[in-house]
Structure 1
Amino acid sequence: MDWLHEIEVVLFDLDGTLYQDGTFYKRYLELLFQEGDHAASLDEILEEMDCLLEGKHTSGIGDWYHPSTDTWSRVTLENPVEPPHQDGNPRAIYAGDAWSLVSIFTVKHGIGEAKRQEAFQQVRKEMLQGSSSFERHAGLYEAIRQLSGVRLKLLLTNSPENTGREFIAALGANELFTDIKYGAGKPAGLEHFMSELMKREGLRPEQILSIGDHAWNDLYPVRQLGGRTAWISAYPSSDLSPWDVRLTTLDELASFLTDIQHSRLKHV
């Protein structure tokens, strides 16, 4: 990767990027489906969820779910689906990570946004209390801290400030970033943010790197503007878009950030 020395700004995502947790979705689904009359039982939904994440389902990460027809489709960066909302309902939902798969199940089974938000808040609370496999990755945070060769280290999360701030504080990550933007409204918000950032800082697109686990939210907007992208996910994906870097673990991400730092220092 002979472009690492060009990076001036690194954009980080929160969930699935600053931490990885392979069990939270089970509790999330339990809170949503343990009560009420649904077309499928909680056990059936958990089994389907596991198949989706493990690549054993006909669909999965990287595909689009269409609520109106209860069908899935597969598209690429060159031919993306248009996902705007219509009458307050999503036309399509990108299965970018485990969080979005849970959202797909809620839409599919008619669970309202208020109940989903309540369950989300509870899961966040339990994660902070240590009731899941969520844990702080000291090596990654040290790598971010030592990434002094870039101009800006920015954290953009779609999480609202009331929950996001507490969660980031629990990670001990408040001081790692030049700035933190809550309620970022990705993907559209990221495209707008990057455009404004380039104007304000006098940057070329290729000097900006975005790192995230949800390709549609974190990578597509940056790639379309000509920026660099690093996709991190422990799950297989049908999305064959040509991201600049493919990572699976936080150890790999920490090593990648160290490589950026070394490359920047060599070209000072």
Structure 2
Amino acid sequence: MDWMEDIEVVLFDLDGTLYQDKTFYKRYLELLFGQGEHGGRLNEFLADMDALLEGRHTSGIGDWYHPGSDTWTRGTDPASVYRDWLGEEKVVSPHSQPVEIASIYAGDAWSLCGIFAAKYGVKAEQRQQAFQQVRKEMLQGASSFERHHGLYEAIGNLNRLRKRILLTNSPEPSGREFITALACMELFDDIVYGAEKPVGMEHYMSALLANEGLRPEQILSIGDHAWNDLYPVRKLGGRTVWVSPYPSSEPQQWDVRLSTLDELAALLVDLQNTKPIKRVV
């Protein structure tokens, strides 16, 4: 990939990019639905979640969920056909959906959990409490969450680039606590918390282009949530790497499509090796 020679800045995501965990959503849904009004349906929700992630559902990663009409559409085409959870077509006027109920892009397992929460009316405070609890349990070893030392070594060795930057939508101090526990904070030249992606990603990249005198193709964004991490960068002409273990209906073709962190570590080693050694005069 000749374009890697031009890369000067790499933008990293946190969740799903610096670590992968394929089981956390079970605990998250348990905290949301393990008791109360929907407590008896937890196994049903878990089965639906598995089907969505594994490509056995009529919808899944890469699709949009519309809480106002409880329907799904595929891709970013506003003329897309609306379908219910069983895949049946529905006639839905976009103007009939409440403006305050934003559509949700099914970009990763976290956002699918958000879709379940929206569908069944879980309040924002309860969602946040569940999120914090799952994060805490990850770091205590209560899930399949693992630190990927090979990836961190590859990031640390990217010393021929101008900058390595981490942008996460997680707010401080919880984001800082999690990154500190990963023992990877020192790998980055800058860490942006509460990045408000996708809009924040576009703003941040625009600032990089202006302040660093970069061309768009010199910036590479790596992430698992295409709408947040990749679409804004692609829009401005940057390079993109999508890392996701799940099948997807996503229509865009990214510069690189990866499934595992082993593959990402190998790509970063290749990136380092394509860059000429900077000589000090």
The verdict on a shared fold, with TM-score over 0.5 as the criterion, is yes
Is 1:174 matched up with 2:185? Answer: yes
The residue that corresponds to 2:118 in the other structure is: 107
Structure 1 outlier segments of 4+, above 3 Å: 78-82, 85-88
Residues 79 and 177 (structure 1), Cα distance of their counterparts in 2 relative to 1, 3 Å cut: farther
Matches within 5 A, 1:40-59: 41-59=41-59
- TM-score w.r.t. length of structure 2: 0.90
Please point out which of 80, 98, 101 is paired with 1:89: 101
Matches within 5 A, 1:135-174: 135-174=146-185
Residues 88 and 26 (structure 1), Cα distance of their counterparts in 2 relative to 1, 3 Å cut: same
Is 1:98 matched up with 2:109? Answer: yes
For structure 1, the residue ranges without an aligned partner over 5 or more in a row are none
Kept in 1, the 8 Å contact 2:65–2:115? The answer is yes
Kept in 2, the 8 Å contact 1:96–1:216? The answer is yes
Percent identity over the alignment is 66
Residues 86 and 165 (structure 1), Cα distance of their counterparts in 2 relative to 1, 3 Å cut: farther
Q: Please say which structure displays the higher CA radius of gyration.
A: 2
The residue that corresponds to 2:38 in the other structure is: 38
Q: Following the alignment from structure 1 to structure 2, what is the Cα–Cα distance between the partners of residues 248 and 267?
A: 32
Q: Following the alignment from structure 1 to structure 2, what is the Cα–Cα distance between the partners of residues 88 and 39?
A: 28
Q: Following the alignment from structure 1 to structure 2, what is the Cα–Cα distance between the partners of residues 182 and 89?
A: 25
What is the SS of the residue equivalent to 1:170? helix
Residues 40 and 48 (structure 1), Cα distance of their counterparts in 2 relative to 1, 3 Å cut: farther
Residues 223 and 79 (structure 1), Cα distance of their counterparts in 2 relative to 1, 3 Å cut: farther
Q: Alignment RMSD, CA only?
A: 2.0
What is the SS of the residue equivalent to 2:155? helix
Kept in 1, the 8 Å contact 2:75–2:251? The answer is no
The residue that corresponds to 2:244 in the other structure is: 233
What is the SS of the residue equivalent to 1:15? coil
Q: Following the alignment from structure 1 to structure 2, what is the Cα–Cα distance between the partners of residues 179 and 23?
A: 30
What is the SS of the residue equivalent to 1:161? coil
What is the SS of the residue equivalent to 2:241? strand
Displacement of 1:262 in angstroms is 0.4
Q: Following the alignment from structure 2 to structure 1, what is the Cα–Cα distance between the partners of residues 278 and 188?
A: 23
Amino acid at match of 1:63: D
Q: Deviations over 1:90-129 (max 9, x none)?
A: 1x10000000000000000011101000100100111111
The residue that corresponds to 2:272 in the other structure is: 261
What is the SS of the residue equivalent to 2:2? coil
Residues 119 and 137 (structure 1), Cα distance of their counterparts in 2 relative to 1, 3 Å cut: same
The residue that corresponds to 2:83 in the other structure is: none
Q: Following the alignment from structure 2 to structure 1, what is the Cα–Cα distance between the partners of residues 146 and 63?
A: 28
Q: Following the alignment from structure 1 to structure 2, what is the Cα–Cα distance between the partners of residues 242 and 105?
A: 28
Aligned residues: 264
What is the SS of the residue equivalent to 1:191? helix
Amino acid at match of 1:2: D
Displacement of 1:265 in angstroms is 2.4
Displacement of 1:260 in angstroms is 0.6
What is the SS of the residue equivalent to 2:37? coil
Residues 69 and 88 (structure 1), Cα distance of their counterparts in 2 relative to 1, 3 Å cut: closer
Displacement of 1:162 in angstroms is 1.4
Q: Deviations over 1:48-93 (max 9, x none)?
A: 00000000000000000011111100114x87999xx966431x10
Is 1:192 matched up with 2:206? Answer: no
Q: Deviations over 1:167-203 (max 9, x none)?
A: 1011101100001000000000000000011000000
Q: Following the alignment from structure 1 to structure 2, what is the Cα–Cα distance between the partners of residues 202 and 46?
A: 48
For structure 2, the residue ranges without an aligned partner over 5 or more in a row are 81-93
Amino acid at match of 1:167: F
Kept in 1, the 8 Å contact 2:223–2:230? The answer is yes
Kept in 1, the 8 Å contact 2:68–2:101? The answer is no
Displacement of 1:149 in angstroms is 1.1
